[in-house]
C-alpha cells in the first residue's frame, strides 16, 4: 500500500517535472532567452508555488532547498525543454495535458501539506491553489505578462476544486488515497474541459460602465 | 478595556475588508477580469502584505492561512465589490477613504506585530510599511503596472509615519492603545491630505541630466 | 584571524551598500521616481534577495529586520545615490564594478548561510544565486522590466559559479576563508569579463521555428 507521505512526494515530483517543461516552453515562446533564463524560469514555475506555500506555513527550510530531488526534477525538465523545444512546441495539446497534470498534482499535494502544517481549512484550500498557480504566476510576472490565472479558462478554479475536495474529505475523516485521486482527476478534468471548450469564469457585471469612468 | 491582541485583530480585520474592496475595485478598473481574477487580486491586496510580514518574521503558519477570519474578510470584501462595482466606482472619494483606513490600520498593526516577534525598531518600521503597501504592490505588479507606492501622493510615507509613531512610543514604554490610535489617525490624515492637495515626496535632483544619459 | 560569522557579516554589509547604490541608480535611470521610490527600490535591491533566502530557510526573523545594520546600510546607499545620482551616473564602469562586488559577496555569503541552516548542496547553490540576483529581479519586476538576469551577460552564471565553489569546498571539508575569497573573486571576474566583452549564455537552439508558431 502506498503511504501518504510517498503519495505526496510522487505527486510533487511528477508535478515538478511537468511544470518545469511547461514553464520553460512558454518562457521560450514569449521572449528571447538564453540557457540560464530558461533554467531560471522553468525552475521558478516548477518550485515557486511550493516554496511560497512552505515559507507561508513555516515548513522551512522549504522542500525545494532541503530535498535535492525537487531542484533535480525541475532542472531536468527545463534542460530537456531547452534542447527539445523545437519538437515540444509542436505538441501543444500534449503540453496542456502536462500543465493540467502539474496543476492537479500540486493543488492536491499543496492542500494536504497545508493541513499537515496547521493551516485552517480555508487556508489549506488557498494554499493548494497557491501551490498550483503560484509558480506560473511568478513566471508570467517575470515576463511582464498579466498572469494567465487572472483570466484563463478556469485555471485557478480547477486548482480550487481539487484542493477543496481534499480539505472537505479530510474534515470528514476519510482515508487519504481515494480523495486525493478523485481530487487530482477532477482538477485535471475541469482544466482540460475548460481549455477544450473555452469555458471561463463569469466576468464582472456591468463592467463597461466602470471602465468608462477610468 | 480593549486588550492589545484584540486591538491588533480588529485593526487587521477592518483593514483586510477595506483593502479587499479597494484592491478588487482598482483591479476591475485597470483590466478585464473574471470572478476568479477579482477574488485573487482582492485577496492578494488584502492579505499579501501581512503574509509577507509574517513569513519574514517567522510568524508561521501566517495569520492569513491559520486564522479563517482573514480569508473570510478578504473574500467577503472582494465578492461585494465584484457585484457592486458599478455603484462603488462612482464613490471615488469613499474608496480613497477605505484605502486610507486600510493603510493606517495595517501600518500600525504590522509594526506592532513585528516588535512582538523580535524585529529591531528599524525593522519594525519597515515591516509596518510592508504590511500596509505590500499587498497593493503585488496587485499592481500582477497587473503589469508600476506600483503606485513608488510615485503616488506620500502613500508609503503615511504608512512610514504611522509605523514610526508606534515604534518610538514602544521604545519609550508607553501604553499601546493611545499611541496606536494616534498613529492610525496620523497615517490616515497624511494620506488623505496628500491625496486631496496632490502633495508628493521630492523628486530626484537634476534627474534630467541622468535620464538623458540612458 | 577573521571568524566565519564576521566574514559573512562583512561580505553581507558591503554587498548591501553596493547593491543599494546600484539599485537606486538604475531605478532613477529607468523611470521618474520620488525620494520614497528611490529608497524603496534601493532597499528592495539590497535586501530582497537575502530576505527571500532567509524566509525560505526559516532563518527568521530575517536579518534585514532583526539586525538594524542591514536596513541602515541599504538606506545609506540609496540616500547617497538620491543626492549624488548626477555624479554617479557618469561613472558607469564604477557602477558595474559595485554591482559585481555585491553579486560576488551575496552569492558566497548566501550559499554559506544556506548550508548553515540545513539546505542541501543543490539547494545552497540555488539560494546563493537567489541571494545575489533576487533583489535586483524584484526591482526590475517593480519597474515592469523583464529581469536582466534572464538575458544579461552571464549575470546569474557568475553568481552560480561563486556559490558552487563555496558548496563544493564545504563538501570536501575545506577551511572557509580561502574558498570564500576564491569564490568571491571568481564570481566578480566572470561578471566583469562577461560585461566587458559582451559574453552571454547560449540561446535556445532553433528558437525561430518555435516563436513562429506563437
Instruction: Answer whether A117's CB lies under 8 Å from A137's CB.
Output: no
Q: How far is B57 from chain A (nearest CA, A)?
A: 10
Query: What does the domain layout of chain C look like in residue ranges?
Result: 4-201
The phi, psi pair for C120, rounded to 5°, reads -70, 165
Query: What residues have CB less than 8 Å from B169, skipping those under 6 apart?
Result: B176, B179, B183
C-alpha cell at B125: 518600521
The rounded distance, in Å, linking the Cα atoms of C202 and C120 is 28
The rounded distance, in Å, linking the Cα atoms of A139 and A40 is 9
The rounded distance, in Å, linking the Cα atoms of B137 and B146 is 8
Q: What is the pLDDT at residue B213?
A: 39
- Mean local confidence (pLDDT), A33-55: 90
The phi, psi pair for C110, rounded to 5°, reads -65, -45
Tell me which residue in B123, B150, B160 faces C142 most closely, judged by beta carbons: B150
Give the ranges where C31-154 is alpha helix by DSSP (H). Answer: 35-57, 63-66, 69-88, 92-116, 121-142
Helix (H, G, I), strand (E, B) or coil at C67: coil
Query: What residues have CB less than 8 Å from B166, skipping those under 6 apart?
Result: B107, B108, B111, B112, B115, B124, B128, B179, B180, B183
The phi, psi pair for C183, rounded to 5°, reads -65, -45
Q: What is the pLDDT at residue C209?
A: 56
Residue reference for cell 552571454:
C200
Q: Based on C-alpha coordinates, what's the Rg of chain B?
A: 17
Instruction: Answer whether C153's CB lies under 8 Å from C191's CB.
Output: yes
Q: Which of C16, C29, C36 to mutate to test the interface with B (most CBs of B within 10 A)?
A: C36
Of A64-78, A121-135, C139-153, the one with minimum mean pLDDT is C139-153
> Which chain C residues are within 8 Å of B167, Cβ to Cβ?
none
Give the ranges where chain B is alpha helix by DSSP (H). Answer: 4-30, 35-57, 63-66, 69-88, 92-116, 121-142, 155-171, 177-196, 207-211
**Among all residues of chain B, which has the CA nearest to that of C48?**
B56
Instruction: Answer whether C153's CB lies under 8 Å from C199's CB.
Output: yes
Percentage of chain B with pLDDT > 70?
A: 93
Residue reference for cell 537634476:
B206
Q: What is the pLDDT at residue C133?
A: 93
The rounded distance, in Å, linking the Cα atoms of C102 and C94 is 13
The rounded distance, in Å, linking the Cα atoms of C159 and C137 is 13
Sign, CA torsion B55/B61/B66/B67:
negative
The rounded distance, in Å, linking the Cα atoms of B194 and B211 is 27
Q: Based on C-alpha coordinates, what's the Rg of chain A?
A: 17
pLDDT band at residue B207 using 50, 70 and 90 as cut-offs: low
User: Regarding predicted confidence, which is higher, A212 or B199?
Assistant: B199
Residue reference for cell 529586520:
C65
Does B151 sit within 8 Å of C32, measured CB to CB? yes
pLDDT band at residue A137 using 50, 70 and 90 as cut-offs: very high
Q: What is the pLDDT at residue A210?
A: 54
CB count within 10 Å of CB B97 equals 17
The rounded distance, in Å, linking the Cα atoms of C69 and C73 is 6
pLDDT band at residue B212 using 50, 70 and 90 as cut-offs: very low
The rounded distance, in Å, linking the Cα atoms of A162 and A158 is 6
- Mean local confidence (pLDDT), A200-206: 71
B128-151 per-position pLDDT tens digit: 999 999 999 999 999 888 888 887
Q: How far is C126 from chain A (nearest CA, A)?
A: 8
Looking at beta carbons, which pairs linking B138-142 to residues 24 or more positions away fall under 8 Å?
Answer: B138/B44, B138/B45, B138/B48, B139/B23, B139/B26, B139/B27, B139/B41, B139/B44, B139/B45, B139/B48, B141/A141, B141/C141, B141/C142, B142/A137, B142/A141, B142/A146, B142/A147, B142/A150, B142/B41, B142/B44
The rounded distance, in Å, linking the Cα atoms of B43 and C180 is 43
Beta bridge partners of C34: B203
**Is the preceding omega at residue B61 within 30 degrees of 0, hence cis?**
yes
Q: List subunits contacting chain B, requiring 3 or more Cβ pairs under 8 Å.
A: A, C
Is the pLDDT score of A178 beyond 70?
Answer: yes
> Which chain B residues are within 8 Å of C144, Cβ to Cβ?
144-146
DSSP annotation of A90 reads T
The phi, psi pair for B30, rounded to 5°, reads -85, -30
Is the pLDDT score of A209 beyond 70?
Answer: no
| Burial call B185-210: b when 16+ CB within 10 Å, e when fewer | ebbbebbbebbeeeebbebbeebeeb
CB count within 10 Å of CB C76 equals 16
Of A1-10, B194-203, C150-159, the one with minimum mean pLDDT is A1-10
C-alpha cell at A42: 522553468
C-alpha cell at B172: 519609550
Q: What is the mean pLDDT of each run of 10 residues along chain C (214 residues)?
A: 67 87 84 84 93 90 88 93 82 79 89 91 93 92 86 84 91 79 89 85 64 43
Is the pLDDT score of A79 beyond 90?
Answer: yes
Does A123 sit within 8 Å of B65, measured CB to CB? yes
Is the pLDDT score of A46 beyond 60?
Answer: yes
Does A119 sit within 8 Å of B35, measured CB to CB? no
The rounded distance, in Å, linking the Cα atoms of C205 and B60 is 44
Q: How far is C203 from chain A (nearest CA, A)?
A: 4
Does C210 sit within 8 Å of A89, measured CB to CB? yes
Element (H, E) at C5: helix C4-30
CA distance to A30, A210, B59, C98, per residue, from A57 (Å): 33, 38, 9, 36
Q: Find, among B134, B200, B211, A133, the residue nearest to C142 by Cα.
A: B134
The phi, psi pair for C107, rounded to 5°, reads -60, -45
Of A97-106, B68-77, B85-94, the one with minimum mean pLDDT is B85-94
Does A203 sit within 8 Å of B33, measured CB to CB? yes
> Which chain C residues are within 8 Å of A35, Cβ to Cβ?
201-204
Is the pLDDT score of A11 beyond 90?
Answer: no
CA distance to A62, A96, A135, C21, C128, per residue, from A53 (Å): 9, 24, 10, 32, 21
Beta bridge partners of A34: C203
Instruction: Answer whether A188's CB lies under 8 Å from A103's CB.
Output: yes
The rounded distance, in Å, linking the Cα atoms of C129 and A140 is 20
Instruction: Answer whether C124's CB lies under 8 Å from C111's CB.
Output: yes
Please return the burial class of A175, using the count of CB atoms within 10 Å of its CB with bins 0-12, 13-18 and 19+: exposed
Is the pLDDT score of B26 beyond 90?
Answer: no
The rounded distance, in Å, linking the Cα atoms of A154 and B108 is 37
The rounded distance, in Å, linking the Cα atoms of B20 and A42 is 32
**Among all residues of chain A, which has the CA nearest to that of B51?**
A56
Amino acid at each position: 500500500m502506498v503511504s501518504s507521505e510517498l503519495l505526496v512526494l510522487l505527486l510533487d515530483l511528477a508535478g515538478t517535472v511537468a511544470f518545469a517543461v511547461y514553464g520553460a516552453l512558454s518562457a521560450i515562446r514569449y521572449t528571447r532567452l538564453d540557457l540560464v533564463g530558461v533554467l531560471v524560469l522553468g525552475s521558478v514555475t516548477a518550485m515557486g508555488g511550493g516554496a511560497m506555500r512552505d515559507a507561508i506555513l513555516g515548513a522551512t527550510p522549504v522542500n525545494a532547498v532541503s530535498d535535492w530531488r525537487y531542484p533535480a526534477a525541475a532542472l531536468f525538465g527545463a534542460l530537456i525543454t531547452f534542447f527539445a523545444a523545437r519538437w515540444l512546441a509542436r505538441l501543444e495539446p500534449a503540453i496542456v495535458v502536462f500543465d493540467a497534470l502539474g496543476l492537479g498534482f500540486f493543488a492536491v499535494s499543496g492542500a494536504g501539506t497545508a493541513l499537515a502544517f496547521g493551516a485552517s481549512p480555508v487556508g489549506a484550500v488557498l494554499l493548494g491553489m497557491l501551490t498550483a498557480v503560484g509558480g506560473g504566476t511568478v513566471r508570467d510576472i517575470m515576463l511582464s505578462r498579466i498572469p494567465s490565472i487572472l483570466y484563463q479558462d478556469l485555471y485557478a478554479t480547477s486548482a480550487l476544486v481539487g484542493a477543496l475536495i481534499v480539505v472537505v474529505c479530510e474534515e470528514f475523516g476519510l482515508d487519504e488515497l481515494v480523495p486525493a485521486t478523485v481530487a487530482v482527476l477532477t482538477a485535471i478534468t475541469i482544466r482540460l474541459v475548460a481549455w477544450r471548450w473555452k469555458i471561463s469564469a463569469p466576468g464582472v457585471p456591468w463592467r463597461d460602465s466602470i471602465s468608462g469612468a477610468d
